[in-house]
Structure 1
Amino acid sequence: MRKLFLPILGVVLMSGLTACMKSVDSSTEQYTQNDTDIKNYVTQSNAQWTPSSTGLYYRTLVAKPTAKQAAVGEEVEFTYKATNILTGAIVDTTIKGYPVYYPLGVNSILPGLEEGVSLMREGETTALLIPSYLGYGSEAKKNLPAYSVVRFDVTLNRSRTQDEQINEYITAQKFMNIESTGTGLRFIRTKEVAGASTPGIGQTLTIRYKGKMLRSASAFDSTGTSTFDAVLGRNTYVKGFEEGLAKLKIGESATIIFPSTLGYGTTGVVSNNRYVITPYAPLRFDIELVSAK
């Protein structure tokens, strides 16, 4: 296929939370120094910290023991402040009113931060002491030299399933007359043509389309004002697109929204070592069926 679903636009990961990782052996000077710095910090804090098997230390500051725990594949919404544990200087922080949204389990943010968030429940605030081999590694950041321990104070606002993401998106967009299918597809016909014919399997459809992730402002792929010829029923495209396209009559338009089980699943789409479509991402497509032959 010439264009549909190719990774051509956009980077969706938070650059401030990624790092050029360099493996650190437990016998190295950096590992030993990180371990010493963390243990000194824990002692001086006069508080209870819990070590994990990876070297992360965490401490719950605000507990919500009966709240929902974050799960792999869900979109987590959180805020954070990162500081240098030796100086207390701020390394990075979210801006008020602008939380981070991230599909948990993608393993594309700092390993220590992802591990910490996975331990949290909605509404909790947790402090994380992240050694360099689970953090920024050899990369120096503002107020943080290379191979340094960083503290993250994280508040987990929400963890949402794909169905929850889709339903909230539909409500926010004020879509009406939504048809939900047994597969999880949501079909919203935006232009109806009375008496128009429905194309059959094997026909070549001339279409226009635009595809985007629900939280992305820009499309990852689009025909623009041009058109594209797609053959119906050959399972050439992702399941959600095939299903939505088959429901259109000639001359009609629709918005289709579907979960990653009908899209790119747990793999996503990668270009230049960056996700253009993340794993576990629900997708929206706006499609116009121009003609069929």
Structure 2
Amino acid sequence: MKRIIVQTAVVMLFGIFMTACLENETELEKQMKQDDKRVLAYLNDNNIEADRHSAGMYYESINTNASGTAVLEESVVSFFYHISTMQNGGYTEMTLDSLNPQLYYHEYNYSLPNAMFYGMDMMRSGEKYRFYIPSYLAYNSFGDPEFFPSHTNFVLEIEILDIQSLDERNALELTQIEQKMQQNEWTGAETTDSGLRFLLTEQGSGDEVQANSTFKMHYARKYLDGTLIEATESDSPVTIRMGYDNLVPGLEEGVLKMQEGDKAILVMASELAFGTGVQVLPAALREPLIDEGWLYPWHVIEPFSPVIYEVEIVEVL
């Protein structure tokens, strides 16, 4: 349980999808040549004229927008997508909710497949590109019987809707949080200097949580729309040692305002929770990648997600 509430760390995949299960550079080079050959065959068989990117993938522009905002380092990109395997009858997935585009933080190692970074790097807002991706820029040796086999090549279509700075994204999240507070009639909530919304819903009478405390708590973590992400079992509170079990900043700030017996609602922007995260396409692959150890457990949270914690301090030890 503790693994689910740890603080987000910088993603350091170190090219794991480039080298996993390959014994040496010679094998990698051999696999890359095989991938390139299969991608070219796909393009030729489908009469597709595409340009080759220096990273190894191919691309074609569907819609261009010379006046659009360029994707730069640390940009927050909102986009629609369609991804499919190159095999006939293979796996396919796309944006289903036009009101909720995907979000992506533009830095290397913040997206899977890695080819997304190279693709976004050449795009502007309002543009739509299609990318033909060899497995060495995607999931390489990873395979799952429900999705695709190892060394699968992909076709990824991306349409960029908007580009924001981190400050602009945070301001938008704070607006969304304010709307949620009003919608749920969570009146009387305290807004701290960090932007955390703290609402005490039940007053306890026990010891206060201190910076060096060990305590037991129940919690439910939800997305801002109320969708449950995870919760403790009713008979199994989680034990936390402050300073050892790294809580996300907003949760740590919140519990330090509580005492044994307290119940509270904490609402926080992503910068106080799980931050930029990692964008994963296909999106349904996120949990299998976590299960197999290819992503950290906290990457279950979508990028730039404000969250709600419902917390009860059961006992201060």
Residue of structure 2 equivalent to 1:30 = 34
Say whether the 8 Å CA contact 1:212–1:220 is kept in structure 2.
Answer: yes
- Cα 1:266–1:33 change in 2 (3 A) is same
> Which residue of structure 2 lines up, in the alignment, with residue 66 of structure 1?
68
Contact 1:70 / 1:119 at 8 angstroms: preserved in 2?
A: no
SS in 1 for 2:56: coil
Structure-2 change in CA distance of 1:7 and 1:147 (3 Å): same
Output one character per residue of 1:217-260: Cα deviation in whole Å (capped at 9) or x when no partner.
Answer: 443452535445556x6565423322111223554432223456
State the aligned residue count. Answer: 272
Q: Given residue 79 of structure 1, which amino acid in structure 2 is its aligned partner?
A: Y
- RMSD of Structure 2 on Structure 1 (CA): 4.8
TM-score normalised by structure 1 residue count: 0.64
Which position in structure 2 is the counterpart of 1:199?
208
1:207 aligned counterpart, secondary structure: strand
Q: How does 1:1-293 map to 2 (within 5 A)?
A: 3-6=1-4, 24-25=28-29, 29-34=33-38, 36-37=40-41, 40=44, 44-45=47-48, 49-64=50-65, 65-67=67-69, 69=71, 72=74, 74=76, 76-82=78-84, 84=86, 91-94=91-94, 96-97=96-97, 101=102, 103-104=104-105, 105=107, 106-107=109-110, 109-135=112-138, 137=140, 149-158=153-162, 161=166, 163=170, 164-165=172-173, 167-168=175-176, 171-172=179-180, 174-175=183-184, 176-177=186-187, 178-183=189-194, 185-191=195-201, 193=203, 199=208, 201=210, 205-212=215-222, 217-228=227-238, 230=240, 234=243, 236-238=245-247, 239-248=249-258, 251-258=261-268, 262-263=272-273, 272-273=292-293, 274-278=295-299, 282=305, 283-290=307-314
CA deviation after TM superposition for structure 1 residue 120, in Å: 3.4
SS of 2:218 mapped into structure 1: strand
Percent identity between the two aligned chains: 17
Q: What is the CA–CA distance in structure 2 between the aligned matches of 1:291 and 1:116, rounded to whole Å?
A: 50
Name stretches of at least 5 consecutive residues in structure 1 with no aligned partner: 9-18
1:130-150 per-residue CA deviation (whole Å, 9 max, x = no partner) reads 2232246466999x9976654
Q: Quick check: 2:277–2:304 contact (8 Å CA) kept in 1?
A: no
Structure 2 gaps of 5+ residues are 7-16, 23-27, 279-286
CA contact (8 A) 1:68 1:122 kept: yes
Distance 1:6 1:40, change over 3 A: closer
Structure with the higher helix share, 1 or 2? 2
3-state DSSP of counterpart to 2:229? coil
TM-score normalized with structure 2 length: 0.60
- Give how far 1:126 is off: 1.0
Residue matched to 1:11: none
